């Protein structure tokens, strides 16, 4: 047994190396490593039994070499689904797992992917090209969207403001269907990085762009505001919030004098704003792209709970509750993911889809543990939807990651913290204190730690070990066989 365990890392390394050495111009190996109907094995990382007993808390039930070997293949990919948990690193996943599934439990989406690793998230300083160890969401998303490091606040441009083409635009040009789904405003950094090339992430609409992003305004022969670029990029399916910006008036170009919503309709977009209307949509393509606007700003979070305060861990532990602001007409992330996949798969060549649970980050900024945990659950549920699709469509690559680390930490219940804390009662019927201490007042801050990556499907073996965010761009592009 000791001999087998010693050989296991070598076996996996050799298999991965063989996979990586294949000519990138081919569509796949001559002899597929896995049967055509298989997409490899998902993990079952549940604990074995009584966690207080010898070996009871262990999650490794059998040698995983065969499961990993069955998952390593270089078959041509038809569909790529990229999941982003904004502000989601190991700490956010762990606290959510503890609360919802218990310490010995596991998420059925986040925790079952066979290949895992981490990537670096640093950005660059625009003034001197030095390293900025703590990225924002704009530079972060631009890195995997375009394969290029940039400065905080920038979308789809390099540190010299040269425009870079996103993976979504490249996939669309190659004939793939494309989708962009989020729980935030559609103009927010993560979804915007796929459609916009602009020097400030805040330039949502025409007026702001003309004032703050002059070189990118339509009046100056630029590509326009983030919302204008979203419309002209014309993904087949675009779902999220941010409706208020669509009420703004276009100030230049062919649609001058119209609202952005009017422009969308003039361009042929199907516009929906309720879950029941989303369910009724039968098709979406370049002739009739789908635009879902389900909130004026960000979509409401699904959970609420006790407020984090100074010395909050001295108070009795509490439970999270459903958020009353989340109504039946608002789609959950899993609903939007399911509809996007349903519509995009009609394209015979395949599709690229990005799905973001964006308010994990926003609730982290607000030191709202229950809001943060609920949105992590939303991410997990959406991944489960995609995994069901991938099981039936083995030419699907699923990648799951976060864009940057954040402030929340699990700390001892009796700790004295200079920051805000809150104590929750978990599924284990145990107290768990979550701490927010990057600032005493105002918005909590991002942190610079590396972030978990995970993948399932063809080419998933590349999403292992230590990567950089820019690696994801090349992994996805090469998997789809596009340049």
pLDDT above 70 (res 196): yes
Distances (CA, A) of 99 to 373, 423, 462: 8, 11, 31
* Distance between start and end Cα atoms, the chain: 45
**Does residue 188 have a known ligand-binding role?**
yes
Strand partners for 237: 179, 290
Is residue 308 flagged as an active site residue? no
Query: What's the whole-model pTM score?
Result: 0.91
Q: Which of 279, 260, 281 is nearest to 270 (CA)?
A: 281
pLDDT above 50 (res 389): yes
Residues 307-357: pLDDT tens digits? Answer: 999 999 999 999 999 999 999 999 999 999 999 999 999 999 999 999 999
Least confidently predicted of 22-31, 124-133, 147-156, 383-392: 22-31
Task: Say which residue, 169 or 67, is predicted with more confidence.
Answer: 169
State the average pLDDT over residues 139-158: 97
Determine the pLDDT at residue 33.
36
pLDDT band at residue 71 using 50, 70 and 90 as cut-offs: confident
State the average pLDDT over residues 149-158: 97
C-alpha–C-alpha distance, residues 255 and 253, integer Å: 6
Domains of the chain, by residue range, sit at: 79-480
Share of the chain above pLDDT 90, in %: 83
Determine the pLDDT at residue 2.
42
State the average pLDDT over residues 231-238: 98
State the average pLDDT over residues 236-247: 98
Determine the pLDDT at residue 37.
59
**Does residue 447 have a known ligand-binding role?**
no
**Does residue 79 have a known ligand-binding role?**
no
b/e map 42-58, b = 16+ CB within 10 Å: bbeeebeeeeeeeeeee
Residues 109-134: pLDDT tens digits? Answer: 999 999 999 999 999 999 988 999 99
Share of the chain above pLDDT 70, in %: 92
Determine the pLDDT at residue 74.
78
State the average pLDDT over residues 17-24: 39
**Does residue 404 have a known ligand-binding role?**
yes
Neighbours of 315 (CB within 10 A): 13
Determine the pLDDT at residue 4.
42
C-alpha–C-alpha distance, residues 300 and 353, integer Å: 22
Q: Which of 483, 473, 399, 470 is nearest to 79 (CA)?
A: 399
**CB neighbours of 46 closer than 8 A, spacing ≥ 6?**
59, 104, 105, 106
pLDDT above 70 (res 264): yes
CATH superfamily entry for domain 79-480: Alkaline Phosphatase, subunit A (3.40.720.10)
Distances (CA, A) of 117 to 17, 90, 402, 466: 16, 11, 12, 6
**Does residue 132 have a known ligand-binding role?**
no
C-alpha–C-alpha distance, residues 449 and 122, integer Å: 9
Residues 273-313: pLDDT tens digits? Answer: 999 999 999 999 999 999 999 999 999 999 999 999 999 99
The residue assigned the tokens 């590396």 is 450
State the average pLDDT over residues 246-260: 97
pLDDT above 90 (res 373): yes
**Does residue 212 have a known ligand-binding role?**
no
Least confidently predicted of 69-78, 115-124, 391-400: 69-78
C-alpha–C-alpha distance, residues 420 and 408, integer Å: 10
Catalytic residue among 89, 91, 137, 464: 137
What average pLDDT does the structure give for the chain?
91
Strand-by-strand arrangement of the 465-468 sheet: 270-272, 290-293, 237-241, 177-185, 351-357, 79-85, 396-402, 451-456, 115-120, 465-468
3-state helix, strand, coil in the chain (%, to 5): 35, 20, 50
**Does residue 190 have a known ligand-binding role?**
yes
Least confidently predicted of 16-25, 60-69, 108-117: 16-25
pLDDT above 70 (res 102): yes
Determine the pLDDT at residue 48.
85
C-alpha–C-alpha distance, residues 250 and 216, integer Å: 14
Least confidently predicted of 17-26, 145-154, 259-268: 17-26
């Amino acid at each position: 047994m000791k001999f087998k365990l010693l050989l296991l890392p070598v076996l996996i390394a050799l298999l991965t190396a063989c996979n990586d050495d294949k000519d990138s111009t081919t569509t796949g190996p001559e002899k597929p490593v896995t049967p055509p109907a298989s997409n490899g094995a998902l993990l079952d990382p549940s604990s074995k039994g009584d966690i207080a007993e010898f070996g009871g808390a262990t999650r490794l039930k059998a040698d995983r070499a065969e499961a990993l070997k069955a998952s390593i293949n270089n078959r041509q990919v038809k569909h790529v689904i990229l999941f982003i948990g904004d502000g989601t690193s190991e700490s956010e996943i762990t606290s959510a797992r503890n609360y919802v599934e218990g310490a010995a439990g596991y998420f059925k989406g986040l925790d079952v992917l066979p290949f895992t690793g981490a990537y670096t998230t640093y950005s660059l300083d625009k003034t001197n090209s030095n390293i900025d160890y703590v990225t924002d969401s704009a530079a972060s998303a631009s890195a995997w969207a375009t394969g290029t490091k940039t400065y905080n606040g920038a979308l789809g441009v390099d540190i010299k403001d040269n425009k870079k083409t996103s993976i979504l635009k490249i996939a669309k040009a190659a004939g793939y269907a494309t989708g962009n789904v989020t729980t935030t405003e559609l103009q927010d950094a993560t979804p915007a990085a796929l459609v916009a090339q602009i020097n400030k992430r805040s330039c949502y609409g025409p007026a702001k762009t003309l004032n703050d992003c002059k070189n990118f305004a339509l009046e100056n022969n630029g590509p326009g505001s983030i919302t204008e670029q979203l419309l002209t990029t014309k993904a087949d399916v675009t779902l999220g919030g941010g409706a208020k910006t669509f009420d703004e008036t276009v100030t230049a170009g062919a649609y001058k004098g119209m609202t952005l919503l009017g422009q969308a309709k003039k361009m042929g977009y199907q516009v929906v704003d309720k879950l029941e209307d989303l369910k009724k949509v039968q098709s979406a393509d370049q002739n009739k792209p789908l635009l879902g606007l389900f909130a004026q700003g960000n979509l409401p979070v699904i959970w609420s709970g006790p407020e984090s305060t100074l010395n909050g861990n001295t108070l009795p532990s509490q439970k999270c509750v459903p958020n009353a602001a989340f109504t039946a007409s608002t789609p959950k992330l899993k609903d939007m993911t399911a509809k996007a996949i349903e519509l995009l798969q009609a394209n015979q060549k395949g599709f690229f889809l990005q799905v973001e649970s964006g308010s994990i980050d926003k609730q982290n900024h607000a030191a709202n543990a229950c809001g943060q945990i609920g949105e992590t659950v939303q991410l997990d549920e959406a991944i489960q939807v995609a995994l069901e699709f991938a099981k039936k469509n083995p030419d699907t690559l699923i990648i799951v990651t976060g864009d940057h680390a954040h402030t929340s930490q699990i700390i001892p219940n009796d700790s004295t913290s200079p920051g805000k804390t809150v104590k929750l009662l978990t599924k284990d019927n145990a107290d768990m204190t979550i701490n927010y201490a990057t600032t005493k007042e105002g918005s909590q801050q991002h942190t610079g730690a590396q972030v978990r990556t995970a993948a399932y499907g063809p080419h998933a073996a590349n999403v292992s070990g230590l990567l950089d965010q820019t690696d994801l761009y090349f992994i996805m592009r090469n998997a789809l066989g596009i340049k």
